[in-house]
A and B are shown apart, each in its own frame.
Chain A
């Protein structure tokens, strides 16, 4: 559905989306890389269970939440893709049970 611009020729990055291997380009956001990889639905809503996809692509709408490297509710449109990222679409509310505990800022 989405195609990269022909002039996008930055380094290729490998990542995983819902366990499947995929490739993106350095400089892309996680949302752009997911969309280019054909994954449109990135999550379901916590209360209504409705499907959601990245929408504003500029950090405002919070529709693009995904789980990245085990941490839920991350804004895919604001996070640059990095080599080896494990990206998962998110089913409902963020589940902190399996997450590594983040250090509190001092």
Chain B
């Protein structure tokens, strides 16, 4: 079978493009099959945090993986700028989780303790700040802020520019990008895979499934599992204003261009996410209690989009045992993890094996019967 590509990546979202970027940098002949512009893409709708704090309760390796990625982000942003000539405005001033009640404060602090009490969890420093200490660093907070948790590992980017930079970069690195090429089926063959759609078919040596929510359907075709489901998230964006927030907060951030985004962070303890008008107004109310000046800003857009969520919320990275050469990659924080996907995961895929420390991300963990 003559292969048109060494490696074919299915899906041109943040996960697929970051992997393709890493593979192409490493010299692989890569093809990317993607849907068209109207496809559902978490990558075009996210909140743009590169976030570490509080992540990984239940899987300390995920905390480490997030930190590895955030630590690699500056280098990744520089590599991207070199190839694409696009500055994605990565900043890492550290981030805050604002608490509006004593109960929230306790829950946050408890969360950090539980996280770091896990064997093998990264013991990075964080600070528990009261109102006055928080106000010193973020003068814009309102009287309702009881306190905050600050961690200097957190940052943010311009997410739309990140998505564009990745696409420009992979094109310049010679990745053969095929939009309007939705994949219907992947057929394992003796020395590779045949990938089919209404547009025809291609033969490839290896395949990386990074198709967001469609991973659930595609992965089983090559003996893999990725039972991801949509989890709605909503975002409010205001008009541009002169900079008044110097740090990202888990649910409020001012972009490099001045607009303020308000989101319903998944990491926000006890914050239920549903696509309902009351959620948007609750998000806005909480944001205004955190930063009263927001009340005077005009909202220019709101939207909701689907996160790509695995049953336990952790990423799935795996190579098929049955059909080696087929990989799946999926996660719900594709901005944060973009650097690890480009700088690490892509290299593992290129080498043809995921190292031992990645075994925890196998979907086989999901088959273990849970204690009731």
Residues of A within 8 A of B (CB): 46-47, 71-73, 92-97, 99, 101-105
Contacts and interface: CB of A to CB of B under 8 A. Distances in A.
A103 B62 CA distance: 42
Given A72-B241, A73-B298, 13 more contacts: A47-B257, A71-B296, A93-B242, A93-B258, A95-B242, A96-B241, A96-B242, A96-B296, A97-B244, A101-B292, A101-B293, A101-B296, A102-B296
A96 B297 contact: yes
Given A95-B241, A96-B241, A104 B288 contact: yes
Given A46-B240, A94-B239, A95-B242, A102 B295 contact: yes
Contacts of B241: 72-73, 93-96
A97 to B, nearest CB: 7
Contacts of B297: 94, 96
A96 B244 contact: yes
A99 B296 contact: yes
14 contacts: A47-B240, A47-B257, A72-B241, A73-B241, A93-B242, A96-B241, A96-B244, A96-B297, A99-B296, A101-B292, A103-B295, A104-B285, A104-B295, A105-B295
Nearest to A45: B240
Given A93-B240, A93-B241, A94-B241, A46 B292 contact: no
Chain B interface size band reads 10 to 19
B293 A46 contact: no
B257 A104 contact: no
A99 to B, nearest CB: 6
A80 B113 CA distance: 56
Which of A71, A93, A99 has the most chain B CB within a 10 Å cutoff?
A93
Interface in B255-298: 257-258, 285, 288, 292-293, 295-298
Contacts of A97: 242, 244
Top 9 A-B pairs, shortest CB-CB distance: A102-B296, A104-B295, A95-B242, A46-B240, A93-B258, A104-B288, A94-B241, A93-B242, A93-B240
Contacts of B285: 104
